[in-house]
Amino acid sequence: MKNYPLKIRSKRKINEKTFLFGFDISGADFTAKAGQFVNVKINKTNYPLLRRPFSVSNISEDELFIMFDIRGEGTEMLSQKETGDEVEILGALGNGFRIEDTFDTAVFIAGGIGSAPFPFLSYALKSKEIFSFVGAGAESDLITEGLPNLQISTDDGSRGFKGNVVEHFASEYSELKNRDL
C-alpha cells in the first residue's frame, strides 16, 4: 500500500450524479486486483479531512479507473476536478475478490453504483461466461459501464424488467439454472 500523486487523465459524466475518472498511472508501480479499492484525498489541504474510498472500477497498463456517485460535499468537490488536476491515491487496499477456477459462468447482481467494481472483475474472468444483472430506480440512474450480457431492471419500469434487480434475477434464475451454469 502506497500513496500516489496521480493526475486525472480522463473524466466522463455517466449520468446526472455518476462519474468515471481515469488516473494516469504510467510510470507508477500501482497494481490492483479485482475487488480492491483506493482512498482518494481530494485536496492538498485538510479539507475535506477524510479520504474517500472508491472501488477500482478498471485498470489498464497506464490508467486506473474509479466510478462514483455524488453523495456529499467530498464527492461533489471531486466531481468538479478536471483533467490534469492531481489527487492523492492510497492503495490498492482490501483483499479483492477470491477468484477460483472451478466454474464456467459468473453472475453479477448489482444496483446503482454497486456495479462499479464489476468491469475489472469481468476482465479478470475473461475466459468465463458472464451475466450482469443491473438495476436502478429509473433508466436515468442506470450504470452499465463495461458489463457483459446485460439484464436490466428499473424500479419504475422505464427500462427492462419492472422491479428491483434481485426480483429480476429471481425471475430468471430457473432459466439460467437450466443452462447448467
Q: How high is the pLDDT of residue 180? A: 56
Kindly give the parts of the chain with pLDDT less than 50: 181
pTM over 0.95? The answer is no
Distance of CA 181 to the CA centre of its chain: 25
Specify the pairing of strand 86-93 against strand 37-41.
antiparallel
Is the bond preceding residue 106 a cis peptide, omega within 30 degrees? no
Q: How high is the pLDDT of residue 176? A: 76
Q: How high is the pLDDT of residue 48? A: 85
Q: How high is the pLDDT of residue 37? A: 97
